[in-house]
Structures are given as structure tokens and as C-alpha cells.
């Protein structure tokens, strides 16, 4: 390990290059020394590579190997030496160890990467947190400053408020002072005025005396003749009697005035009483007839009824002529009571109206009201449902109106479904018949082929027989005894030959058609045979074949 250390130090110090612990790039160094050393993906610089070379040289191979073995064993790897022989390296174990080491290295790299990632994340988180912290600090600072500012303002406003209060107080004091000053000055002025007035009076007195003295000499008034009094009476002396009469007259005047006023007031009173009575009647009529609550206020009720009876009696008499205190009080009290009742009633009505009721409070109405509510709810629900239905129907209608082709097809499909099914059934039947017919045709063709072959064979036989015959005939020609049947045969031979040739000629172009035409007899046979099987469809098959083909064409 000392080697390691001594080697690492010169690596770091003289090397100007920094070791980047986070780079995980593989570096290849082209030193020849490394060709023996495995390329590692450790953080490396050139010196490190030289270091790799420095570890194991040609001289200390054994030591280095043993060292490596020791290290590996300490790390838990199996020994790289061969089993017990020592000095011989177990290549397999070496390779295994190397592999293990590589795997370890990979793992470590991965772990390192992860750690690096985490480190990065944590670093960014840290940055983020630091930023947040810085922002919050700023905010805190700002709010602190704001608080300080607001406190300052608050203090200023409070001091202003205090100042204003003080000013107000001062003003009030001043006002008070001024009022006092005014009152004191007023008294002073009054005093002065009085003094001056007294002086003035004195002067007036003096003057009066002087004037009076002078006046005696002159005649103050000159009248040509006396004028009669306006009312014709003569002037009277001033005596006590006259004084008394004066007083009397004065009091008479006053009394008459008072009487007049009293009359007016009585009239007014009467009017008002009448109005009150009217009002009372109206209020009573307005109130609901629920005044039968004698149990609650039995005593009061009795008293009231008595009072009301009294009032009623009084009403019968000329009530407005009685203006005694009690009657008046009774009237006003009764009116007040009625008014209160009316007010309560109106308030109750208002409450009911606010709850949604209009009308007189009655139990029946309450129930019906609830029913009414339920009904209205039901109706509302119904209305909603109907509306929804209408909506859906409308939507459907809309859909129907908008997409035509599909619906028409669908409609047609609906309407033609039956027909289609019918048609399908018929088709099935047709197909079956077609199959049958095909089978028959096949059989016909086979039969026709067989027939053709038989004919061939027959023709060949005939030919040979004719040859024989001819030969024989030539032989026999000599003998002129030809039987007529041979003439028949002869006649038939060319017929046969013709037929043969014709048939041969006819055969190649089409197999069916000749088979069809000459076979009607056979076909008829078959047909008769088939007729046994199926009469109608066979007969129909013929014309229906075309139809079928037509159908086929159509459908296809």
C-alpha cells in the first residue's frame, strides 16, 4: 500500500490537471505500458495510466500477482492461484475475479451515478430552498418595514387626533369664555343703559316741568265749536263707578272671547270624537271576529265589556255633550286597544304574507296550503318529465329528419325483411335444386360420355364386323345371296357411318348440346325417372334454370 501512496502523491501535486471526480469517461492512453494493464474506467489522468504501468512491471510480476491475490482474497474473491500449486495462476479464477471486479466496478459506477444524481438534486433543492429563504427573508423585511411604516402612520394619526381633540377642547373653552364675556358685557351695557336712562329721565322731568310751567299761559286748543261725540253720548266723569264699569266691560269682553273659543273647541272636540268613534267602528269591523277570548282576560274582559256597555249607552245618549274625564279616557283607551289589536292583526297578516300566504288565517287554508304545495311540486315534476320527453322526442325527430338514406334503407329493410326472408328461402330451394340439377347434369354428361364411348366401341365393332362381313361378302360375293337384312344393314351402315361421322363431327364442338338434343329421349327417360323423384321442380327446373341464371346474374 505504501507503493500506492507514494505513487498517488506525485500524481496530484505536479500534475496541473485536476482530477474530476465526477467524470466517468473512459480514457484511453496509448502508452505501451498499458497494453499489459487492463483498461479501467476509473477517474484517470495520464499519470494515473502511467501509474497503472508503474504497478506491475516485468520485474515484480510475482509480487504484484501475490499482492493482487491477497487483495482479492481480502475482498472475498477466490484466490487467483491454482489450487495448491502456487505460482501458477488460475486463469479461470482470474477471469472470474476480473469479471467480478468489472461487475463491482459497474455497480459502483451506477451507485456513483446515482449518488451524483442525488447530489445534484439535493444541490438544486438546496438552491431552491436558499432562493425561497432569501425571498421570504425579503418579504419579511418588507412586511416589517410596512409594519413600521403603518405604526408610524398610526402614531401620527393618533397624535393628530389628540391634537384635534385638544383644539376642539380649546375652541370649546374659547366659546365658553366668549359667552361669558358676552353675558358680562351685556350686563355691563344694561347697567350703563340704565344709568343713562335715569339721567335722561331726569332731564325729561326737568323739561316737562319747564314746559308745563310755560303751557299754562297759552291756550293749547282752539276749537271753533265742540264736536259731538261719535256715538252721540255725552262725556262722563271719571268716577269709581265708571272704573267698575270699565272693569266689568273688560271682563265681559274677555269672557265673551273665551266663551267663543270654548265653543269652537267644543265643536272641534265633538268632531274629533265623532271621528274617533267612526274609527273605532271601522277598526272593529276590520278585525276578524275572534274576540271570543274571554278565558284569557276574563276580568279585563268583563270590565271592558262593562265599559263598552257604558260607552254604548253613552253613545246612545248625546255623548258629545258629556265631556267628563272618564268618558274621554275610556274612549281613548278603547280606541288605543282596538288600534293595538288591529296592528297585531296586520303584523300577523304581514308575517303570513311574507311566508307566502294571503288571506285570513284559517286551519283549513293551512292544510290546503300544504296540499297545494305538494300538488305544485308534483305538477312541477310532471312538467319536467314531460319536458324531458318532449326533448327526447324532438331529438329523435331531428335525427330522423336529418339522416334520410339510412332510415329509408332501414325502413325498406323493415318492410322488405319479410320478402327477403321469403326470397332467401326460395333461393335456398333454388340452390338445392341447382345442386340437384348439377348432379343430374354430371350424371348426364357421364352417361353421355359413356354413351359416346359405347358408341365408339360399337362403331368399332361394327366396323370390324363390316370388315368381316365385307371380307366375307367378298368371299360370298361370289355367292349372290345377300340377305335383305344386310341391305338393311347396308342402308343402316351408311346411316350409321353418317351418324357416326356426324356424331364425331358433332361431338368435339360441344358435349352438352348434342347430348342435350339427342338425349331428350334419354333425358325424358331420366326426366321420367326424376319425375318420380320430383315432378314439378324438374319441369320447373327447365324454365327456372334460365330464371335462376337470370337471378344469379341479377344478384351477382
Q: Which residues bind other proteins (CB under 8 A)?
A: 179, 182, 186, 190, 193-194, 197-198, 201, 203-204, 207-208, 210-211, 214-215, 218-231, 235-236, 238, 242-243, 246-247, 249-251, 253-254, 257-258, 265
Q: Please, what is the minimum distance in Å from the beta carbon of residue 188 to other proteins?
A: 13
Strand partners, 407: none
CA distance 80 to 83: 9
Surface-to-core class of residue 52, CB atoms within 10 Å of its CB (0-12 exposed, 13-18 middle, 19+ buried): buried
Burial class (CB in 10 A: 0-12, 13-18, 19+), 538: buried
Residue 216 or 299 having the CB closest to other proteins: 216
Report the SS3 class of residue 422: helix
Nearer to other proteins, 225 or 358 (CB): 225
Instruction: Please state the φ and ψ torsions of residue 89, each to the nearest 5 degrees.
Output: -85, 135
What are the CA-CA distances from residue 98 to residues 53, 69, 79, 81, 375 (Å)? Answer: 18, 12, 12, 13, 93
Taking the complex as a whole, the smallest distance from the CB of residue 351 to other proteins amounts, in Å, to 37
Q: What angle do CA 308, 311, 315 make, to 5 degrees?
A: 135
The residues, any chain, with a CB within 8 Å of residue 10's CB and separated by 6 or more, are 47
Task: CB nearer to other proteins: give 141 or 268.
Answer: 268
CB atoms < 10 A from the CB of 247, how many?
Answer: 10
Write the CA distances from 107 to 42, 98, 100, 379, integer angstroms: 13, 14, 10, 78
CB of 169 to other proteins, least distance (A): 22
| Residue 180: CB minimum distance to other proteins, A | 12
Q: Which is nearer to other proteins, 63 or 179 (CB)?
A: 179
Residue 238 vs 536, nearer CB to other proteins: 238
DSSP 189-203: HHHHHHHHHHHHHHH
Nearer to other proteins, 99 or 260 (CB): 260
CB of 263 to other proteins, least distance (A): 14
- Nearer to other proteins among residue 225 and residue 483 (C-beta): 225
- In the 8-state DSSP scheme, what is residue 81? B
Judged by beta carbon, residue 224 or residue 324, the one nearer other proteins is 224
* Nearest distance, CB of residue 157 and other proteins, angstroms: 36
> What is the closest distance, in whole angstroms, from the C-beta atom of residue 268 to other proteins in the complex?
10
Q: What is the 8-class DSSP label of residue 359? A: S
- Nearest one of 24, 58, 63, 64 to 44, comparing CA atoms: 24
Amino acid at each position: 500500500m505504501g507503493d500506492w501512496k507514494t505513487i498517488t502523491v506525485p500524481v496530484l501535486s505536479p500534475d496541473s490537471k485536476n482530477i474530476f471526480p465526477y467524470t466517468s469517461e473512459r480514457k484511453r492512453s496509448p502508452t505501451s505500458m498499458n497494453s499489459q494493464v487492463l483498461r479501467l474506467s476509473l477517474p484517470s489522468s495520464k499519470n494515473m495510466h502511467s501509474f497503472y504501468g508503474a504497478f506491475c512491471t516485468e520485474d515484480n510480476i510475482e509480487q504484484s500477482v501475490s499482492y493482487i491475490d491477497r487483495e482479492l482474497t481480502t475482498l472475498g474473491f477466490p484466490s487467483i492461484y491454482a489450487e495448491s500449486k502456487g505460482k501458477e495462476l488460475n486463469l479461470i479464477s482470474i477471469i472470474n475475479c476480473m469479471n467480478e471486479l468489472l461487475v463491482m466496478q459497474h455497480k459502483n459506477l451506477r451507485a456513483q451515478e446515482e449518488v451524483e444524481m442525488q447530489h445534484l438534486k439535493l444541490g438544486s433543492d438546496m438552491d431552491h430552498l436558499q432562493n425561497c429563504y432569501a425571498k421570504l427573508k425579503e418579504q419579511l423585511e418588507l412586511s416589517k418595514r410596512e409594519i413600521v411604516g403603518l405604526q408610524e402612520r398610526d402614531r401620527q394619526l393618533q397624535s393628530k387626533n389628540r391634537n384635534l381633540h385638544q383644539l376642539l377642547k380649546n375652541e370649546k373653552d374659547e366659546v365658553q369664555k366668549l359667552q361669558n364675556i358676552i353675558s358680562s358685557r351685556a350686563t355691563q351695557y344694561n347697567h350703563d343703559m340704565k344709568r343713562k336712562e335715569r339721567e335722561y329721565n331726569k332731564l325729561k322731568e326737568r323739561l316737562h316741568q319747564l314746559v308745563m310751567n310755560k303751557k299754562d299761559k297759552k291756550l293749547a286748543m282752539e276749537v271753533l265749536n265742540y264736536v259731538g261725540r261719535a256715538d252721540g253720548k255725552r262725556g262722563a266723569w271719571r268716577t269709581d263707578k265708571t272704573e267698575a264699569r270699565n272693569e266689568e266691560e273688560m271682563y265681559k269682553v274677555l269672557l265673551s272671547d273665551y266663551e267663543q273659543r270654548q265653543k269652537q273647541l267644543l265643536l272641534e272636540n265633538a268632531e274629533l270624537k265623532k271621528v274617533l268613534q267612526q274609527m273605532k267602528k271601522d277598526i272593529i269591523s276590520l278585525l276578524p271576529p275572534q274576540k271570543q277570548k274571554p278565558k284569557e282576560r276574563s276580568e279585563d274582559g268583563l270590565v271592558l265589556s262593562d265599559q263598552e256597555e257604558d260607552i254604548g249607552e253613552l253613545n246612545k245618549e248625546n255623548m258629545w255633550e258629556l265631556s267628563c274625564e272618564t268618558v274621554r279616557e275610556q274612549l281613548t283607551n278603547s280606541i288605543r286597544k282596538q288600534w293595538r289589536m288591529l296592528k297585531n292583526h296586520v303584523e300577523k297578516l304581514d308575517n303570513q304574507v311574507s311566508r307566502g300566504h294571503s288571506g285570513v288565517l284559517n286551519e283549513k287554508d293551512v292544510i290546503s296550503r300544504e296540499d297545494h304545495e305538494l300538488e305544485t311540486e308534483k305538477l312541477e315534476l310532471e312538467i319536467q318529465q314531460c319536458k324531458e320527453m318532449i326533448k327526447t322526442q324532438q331529438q329523435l325527430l331531428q335525427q330522423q329528419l336529418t339522416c334520410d338514406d339510412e332510415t329509408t334503407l332501414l325502413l325498406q329493410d323493415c318492410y322488405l325483411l319479410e320478402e327477403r326472408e321469403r326470397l332467401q328461402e326460395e333461393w335456398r330451394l333454388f340452390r338445392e335444386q341447382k345442386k340437384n340439377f348439377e348432379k343430374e347434369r354430371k350424371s348426364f354428361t357421364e352417361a353421355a360420355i359413356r354413351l359416346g364411348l359405347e358408341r365408339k366401341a360399337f362403331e368399332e365393332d361394327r366396323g370390324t364386323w363390316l370388315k368381316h362381313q365385307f371380307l366375307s361378302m367378298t368371299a360370298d360375293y361370289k355367292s349372290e345371296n345377300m340377305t335383305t337384312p344386310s341391305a338393311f344393314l347396308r342402308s343402316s351402315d351408311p346411316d350409321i357411318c353418317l351418324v357416326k361421322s356426324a356424331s364425331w363431327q358433332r361431338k368435339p364442338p360441344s358435349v352438352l348440346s348434342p347430348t342435350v338434343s339427342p338425349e331428350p329421349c334419354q333425358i325424358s327417360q331420366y326426366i321420367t325417372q326424376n319425375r318420380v323423384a320430383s315432378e314439378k321442380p324438374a319441369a320447373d327446373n327447365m324454365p327456372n334454370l334460365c330464371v335462376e341464371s337470370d337471378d344469379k346474374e341479377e344478384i351477382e
